[in-house]
Amino acid sequence: MGCLYDKAWNREEFQQRMAPDVPVEEWQSLWTPLSGTGITQSNMLYIQGSNLATTDKFLDAVRADNGQIVQLTNGEAGHWLPVQGTSFVNQALEDWFAGPDGDSLDIIPYDLPSFTSCSPLVLRDVYTQGFRLTGDRRPEKLEFYVRCAGDVSEEPSINKISCRPHHCDGHAWCFVANHCRSNRFAPFNRCSRLSNQNPLECVQPQ
């Protein structure tokens, strides 16, 4: 990277090499002779790891082009993604790929263990039944909450699913009452399989 920066800071040589048909004095930004971001794709997701070559003018251009910006550790991350920044970047990427009207959890998330300890096979079956993950991440829990597929409202109706066979009459997973207690020795409000296994009345795939 040092060689790249060395060439970039030699402005006249860099500009003539990158765009020999554009006079040096007509360049409109640090990295491109074009105005704005210099990138023809609108609605970009710009992940800023450093202040070294990112100006406020460029960030304003990203926003003006309906883009989104994720800034890491006050601009001190450099070219490496720090561990404490991964969750912000991952969520931003999921939302960006889903699109403005999309559902970022319409597919089983790659970081499934951060949501639940239930098996990926259980989640696959749940998804084929027309349900989608929602609510808080519960990493070490054999349970999770779901909503109907396609319901992307801010406060969707949700219900709890357990993947403990002793809650589900031997089945791999089942709907249980919200806020029930998972401990089999709990004296009251213990989780058990609901008689209605579509309590959210979701549309079931044919």
User: What pLDDT shows up at residue 49?
Assistant: 74
Domain boundary among 45, 80, 98: 98
Whether the CB-CB separation of 33 and 24 falls below 8 Å is answered with: no
Domain boundary among 98, 130, 164: 98
Query: Do 92 and 107 reside in the same domain of the chain?
Result: no
Query: Which of 154, 149, 141, 199 lies closest to 174 in space, CA to CA?
Result: 199
Query: What is the domain count for the chain?
Result: 2
Whether the CB-CB separation of 42 and 66 falls below 8 Å is answered with: yes
User: What pLDDT shows up at residue 135?
Assistant: 81
Q: Which distant-in-sequence residues (6+ apart) come within 8 Å of 122 by Cβ?
A: 163, 172, 173
Query: Do 93 and 12 reside in the same domain of the chain?
Result: yes
Domain boundary among 82, 98, 114: 98
Query: Do 114 and 204 reside in the same domain of the chain?
Result: yes
> Which residues are registered as beta bridge partners of 48?
71
- 109 vs 165: CA distance, rounded Å: 23
Range of the domain at 167: 103-206
Query: Do 169 and 204 reside in the same domain of the chain?
Result: yes
Query: Do 116 and 187 reside in the same domain of the chain?
Result: yes
Query: Do 114 and 67 reside in the same domain of the chain?
Result: no
> Which residues are registered as beta bridge partners of 76?
50
Query: Do 108 and 206 reside in the same domain of the chain?
Result: yes
Distances from the Cα of 60 to the Cαs of 57, 155, 177, in angstroms? Answer: 5, 32, 48
Global pTM reads 0.59
Q: Which distant-in-sequence residues (6+ apart) come within 8 Å of 184 by Cβ?
A: 166, 190
Query: Do 107 and 94 reside in the same domain of the chain?
Result: no
Query: Do 71 and 160 reside in the same domain of the chain?
Result: no
Q: Residue-wise pLDDT tens for the chain (206 aa)?
A: 445 555 556 778 878 887 888 888 888 777 777 777 776 667 888 887 777 667 788 888 888 888 888 887 554 555 566 555 566 677 777 777 767 666 767 888 877 888 899 999 999 999 999 999 998 888 889 999 999 998 888 889 999 999 999 999 999 999 999 989 887 666 788 899 999 999 999 988 77
- 41 vs 24: CA distance, rounded Å: 24
Query: Do 118 and 201 reside in the same domain of the chain?
Result: yes
